[in-house]
Structure 1
Amino acid sequence: MKIDGDERNGITIKQQSAKILQYFRRANPGQKKSLLALFLTSISSVIVFLADDLSIKGRVTIFVFLLTVILWSTTSINAAYIALISVLLLLLTGCISQEQFFASLGSDVIWLMIGAFILGSAVKQTGLATRLTQAVAAKAHNISSLFWLLTTVLIPLSFLIPSTSGRAAVTHPIFRSIANTIEDRRTRRALALLMPSIILVSTIASLTGAGSHLVAKDLLAEISGKDISFSQWLIYGLPFGIVASYASCWVIMGLFLDKKRCQQKLNVECLQPTPLSLPERKTLFIVLFMLLLWITEQWHGLEIATVTIIGAMILTAPNLGVIKWKDAVKDVSWNLIIFVGATLVLGRALISSGASEWIIEHVFRFSEINSANSQFLILLLLTIISLTSHIYMTSHTARAAALVPPLLYLASSLDINPVAVLFLSTLGMDYCLTFPVSSKALMVYQDADTDGFQATDLLRLSSVMIVIHLALVLLFYYTWWRWVGLSF
């Protein structure tokens, strides 16, 4: 069939386009999604393979990553299956080695999640989760007040547990317990989005909220000779973290819950207070001990994942623990474990293939931030670059290590305040709500087969929250941050 006109059938480009549009309108939703996926894949392949200054491995890796995101967004195929197929494509095309493929299952994230699920199983089976749920539900009259209350409770955790994954691990049992009392699946998904979102958005409130903050602080001292204290970070970050957290809660309820769902009463029976049973006391003691080890990680050197596995082993120990090992293992979401393992390989492939570095260089070149002569333009470009960095660099610490040095050197060349550049770029890098692989906290809560959210839910949320985050940065820069001395 010709599309440039034909004397025999008289088909023109305009007529052909009209036929295609008519077919698309008549197609069922499944066919429309398939056509959209095919169209986006074609566009992605053309764009990526035109990049002649990128290695073949880098091009293939970016294409596979884009293909994975497209399939997550436009099909109903299991997310873990898509991720695993994508990683196998990287393996078969030589972009990753077999060692890299299998090494992902030994990642600290995998073991953190296994330990977190076992911890959650113990908290649930001993009845401790029910007590915690009742303590929260007693203060909340309906779903709306529950969401606001949870937001308020989650914000201070950034000062207590210096890891987003640690905060996700300690709150996940409470989420599962509350979710079991909510019959509506849509409300459960909104709750699954709320808790990790607040954990991530409130990270900026504390210098110790994430390990990447400390990495950025060290780079600031090494490159510019400047420093930022805990109290300074608190003054800059806490107000923003509070406002952004409540804004996130408001957006999640607006996007995923209607008025009827928000006013829905909680179906939690308020039992008469009774003394803690022996299993409950054991579980509570072990959880508090784990919390203590999480807080003091810099003193003893045991990472969050290691502490979580130690706690899981004690909770399942024969004659000492509170649950049987085989029962605890049944509560582990192995579908989610496979999904996380595959997406970790995908994220690391972006870095090892040079694709992430190539993207960073072209973002700098395209934005022309190094030649900007307006403070507003510098602020806008810096915020956009840092807010979108999680899309092509899935590791929080890797983002800090890769982006902070060039941005600090940029600050020196433009003769602007390196502390402001450091804080604003770190704030942007803390935002990672677009893909589950962008944060360990999201991975803990993402399980579409049970109570979790889908990748499309996260994309929908991020499409709104990234704009609100950008607006809040601009608002805070010209008000609160300037008043307290943080400006270019």
Structure 2
Amino acid sequence: MPSKVERNKQKQNRLKTKIQSMPRKTAIIISIHILILIAVIFIQDLDYSAKVSLFAFLSAMTLWVTTKFSAGWVAMALIAFIILMNAAEPDLLYNSLSEKVVWLMIGAFIIGEAVKKSGLAERLTLFILSKSNKKENVVLGLSSVLFASAFFIPSTSGRAALSMPIIKQISEKFSSKEQSILAIIAPVIILMSTSATLIGAGSHLIGIGFLESTAGESISYIQWLIWGVPFALVVTLLSLIVIKWTLWPRGSVEKLESIETIPVTKPFGKDEKKTMVLILFLIIGWMTESLHGLDIELITVIGAILFMMPNFGIISWKQGMNAVSWNLVMFVAAATALGKVLVDTGIVEWIESEMISVLHLFVVAPDWLIVLMILTITVTSHLYITSHTTRAIVFIPGLILFSELIGVNPSTVVFLSLIGMNYCVTVPVSSKALLLFYEEGDISYDARNLVKLSAILMPLYIFIIMLFYFTFWQWTGMHL
């Protein structure tokens, strides 16, 4: 019979053999989790609940990017982990389905299906396709339509919802690999064009509201257009170039198949007219949110109900429900809850205080260094604050205080910060527009491609903002 020492040695050998036989990727993922755990444990300013929640969030980010596990399963499993570790109440899971973004997405899928069934999506698609027989020009035409939508649809998620049926129609002319890139191009163009106008995102209005109430200054709609449109055009075009360079399949066929243009010129059908009227009411509802007080999410759901109305709507209730990607809805619910728990446990407040304390060191710093620090904080904020609106609420008051402390123009600081916060391309959970196209089913993209794209696009985005600040924006009256 082997001795205790020999038995221990045998166990160590078996463990060593298992570790050596473990796939390299698995070993790396486990190592990353161990490093995250050690780092989180040694953060003294966070309590137990915050540490567990931060570990779960970072774990989710790691698994989404490095594995092929279902994103919804990962998010749901880590929500359950937080609850089982007594870091949150079970309501965290149950209430996740009551998040606004969940109902926005349900409504968006239904509206998208109605637009498709009415024939309107096909008409617009054929119109875009008929203008060129080259895929590159078709993508440029699609991007132009998405860019223009920023001026009359004040919601990135609303623009993404209306673009989905068009993207699905256009993607039929592209290969499967090209379709996955189209699923990235659409939300990225939507996000990059957000900076063009004051109504491009709710965070803009929140930031201006803080500026008016705290510093007594403001940025007018026209002034924002002067500063925002040229920047949005440049950064949108550069994004297209970077996507084409880094992600577009090499050696793909450039020309499209023959396109029939007859449906474009035929008279509008009854369902198409009805759909256009309903979409017009939706857009008006989205644009006048500040007047009637109804959330964009509620307006979207009401629109979906009208599209499914018996004897009047475009699709039936059953068709509407079948059109919803419930897999994606569950993922968004759990992922949003993961982001929300960072706020509830004080993690976001801790990150904000740490960053603002760093900014105080730059009281006598040159302009370029102040701008770079503001942009570094705001552009990277999407990695740990998943809600665009929350980013504005968390950072803008502190940045206005910072501007007054070092004696710089608060309007400039707010504008630069809001433009910086508009960047949210690294992970799907950082933007509703990205989420709508993630794991959607018909066309979807790989989260790893987003990380690959962002590795180039994020520093480029910061560089373009700095370039604009020290040239065009200063020439048109912006200064610190």
Same fold (TM over 0.5): yes
Q: How does 1:10-21 map to 2 (within 5 A)?
A: none
Q: What runs of 5+ residues in structure 1 fail to find an aligned partner?
A: 1-18
The Cα of 1:451 is off from its aligned counterpart by: 0.6
2:348 corresponds, among 342, 349, 356, to 356
Q: How does 1:286-297 map to 2 (within 5 A)?
A: 286-297=278-289
Structure 1 residue aligned with 2:13: none
Structure 2 residue aligned with 1:121: 113
Q: How does 1:235-314 map to 2 (within 5 A)?
A: 235-261=226-252, 263-265=254-256, 268-272=259-263, 273-314=265-306
Inter-partner Cα distance in structure 2 for 1:129 and 1:384: 39
Give yes or no for the alignment of 1:63 onto 2:62. Answer: no
Kept in 1: contact 2:53–2:87 (CA 8 A)? yes
Question: Aligned in 2, Cα 1:267/1:121: closer, same or farther, shift over 3 Å?
Answer: farther
Kept in 2: contact 1:433–1:458 (CA 8 A)? yes
Give yes or no for the alignment of 1:46 onto 2:27. Answer: no
Inter-partner Cα distance in structure 1 for 2:27 and 2:147: 42
2:314 corresponds, among 319, 322, 336, to 322
2:173 corresponds, among 170, 177, 181, to 181
The Cα of 1:48 is off from its aligned counterpart by: 1.0
The Cα of 1:420 is off from its aligned counterpart by: 0.9
Q: What runs of 5+ residues in structure 2 fail to find an aligned partner?
A: 1-15
Q: How does 1:104-119 map to 2 (within 5 A)?
A: 104-119=96-111
Kept in 1: contact 2:307–2:314 (CA 8 A)? yes
Structure 1 residue aligned with 2:455: 463
Q: How does 1:114-263 map to 2 (within 5 A)?
A: 114-182=106-174, 184-261=175-252, 263=254
The code of the aligned residue for 2:95 comes to: A
The Cα of 1:141 is off from its aligned counterpart by: 2.3
Inter-partner Cα distance in structure 2 for 1:437 and 1:373: 35
TM superposition score normalised by structure 2: 0.92
Identical-pair percentage? 37
Kept in 2: contact 1:137–1:266 (CA 8 A)? no
Q: Deviations over 1:224-271 (max 9, x none)?
A: 121111111111111111111111111111111145337242564333
Inter-partner Cα distance in structure 1 for 2:95 and 2:69: 25
The Cα of 1:311 is off from its aligned counterpart by: 1.9
Inter-partner Cα distance in structure 1 for 2:190 and 2:129: 20
Q: Deviations over 1:301-353 (max 9, x none)?
A: 22222222222212222221222211221111110000000001000001010
SS, match of residue 156 in structure 1: helix
Inter-partner Cα distance in structure 2 for 1:175 and 1:242: 21
Question: Aligned in 2, Cα 1:218/1:269: closer, same or farther, shift over 3 Å?
Answer: same
The Cα of 1:76 is off from its aligned counterpart by: 1.0
Structure 2 residue aligned with 1:4: none
Kept in 2: contact 1:448–1:454 (CA 8 A)? no
The code of the aligned residue for 1:254 comes to: W
Kept in 1: contact 2:40–2:55 (CA 8 A)? yes
Give yes or no for the alignment of 1:444 onto 2:436. Answer: yes
SS, match of residue 26 in structure 2: helix
The Cα of 1:369 is off from its aligned counterpart by: 4.6
The Cα of 1:288 is off from its aligned counterpart by: 2.1
The code of the aligned residue for 2:261 comes to: C
The code of the aligned residue for 2:45 comes to: D
Inter-partner Cα distance in structure 1 for 2:257 and 2:412: 44
Question: Aligned in 2, Cα 1:214/1:44: closer, same or farther, shift over 3 Å?
Answer: same
The code of the aligned residue for 1:218 comes to: G
Kept in 2: contact 1:143–1:261 (CA 8 A)? no
Q: How does 1:401-440 map to 2 (within 5 A)?
A: 401-440=393-432
Kept in 1: contact 2:178–2:249 (CA 8 A)? no
Give yes or no for the alignment of 1:33 onto 2:25. Answer: yes
The code of the aligned residue for 1:321 comes to: G
Inter-partner Cα distance in structure 1 for 2:303 and 2:359: 48
2:385 corresponds, among 386, 389, 393, to 393
The code of the aligned residue for 1:269 comes to: E
The code of the aligned residue for 1:457 comes to: N
The code of the aligned residue for 2:458 comes to: I
The code of the aligned residue for 2:424 comes to: C
Kept in 1: contact 2:211–2:400 (CA 8 A)? yes
2:335 corresponds, among 343, 346, 369, to 343
TM superposition score normalised by structure 1: 0.90
Q: Deviations over 1:87-139 (max 9, x none)?
A: 11122223332223212212221111111111111122232221111011112
SS, match of residue 261 in structure 1: coil
SS, match of residue 456 in structure 2: helix
The code of the aligned residue for 2:198 comes to: L
Give yes or no for the alignment of 1:378 onto 2:401. Answer: no
Kept in 2: contact 1:372–1:378 (CA 8 A)? no
Structure 2 residue aligned with 1:16: none
Structure 1 residue aligned with 2:471: 479
Inter-partner Cα distance in structure 2 for 1:228 and 1:130: 40
How well do the aligned residues superpose, as a CA RMSD in angstroms? 2.1
Give yes or no for the alignment of 1:102 onto 2:98. Answer: no
The code of the aligned residue for 2:78 comes to: S
The Cα of 1:279 is off from its aligned counterpart by: 2.2
Question: Aligned in 2, Cα 1:59/1:475: closer, same or farther, shift over 3 Å?
Answer: same
Residues 360-369 or 60-69, more deviating: 360-369
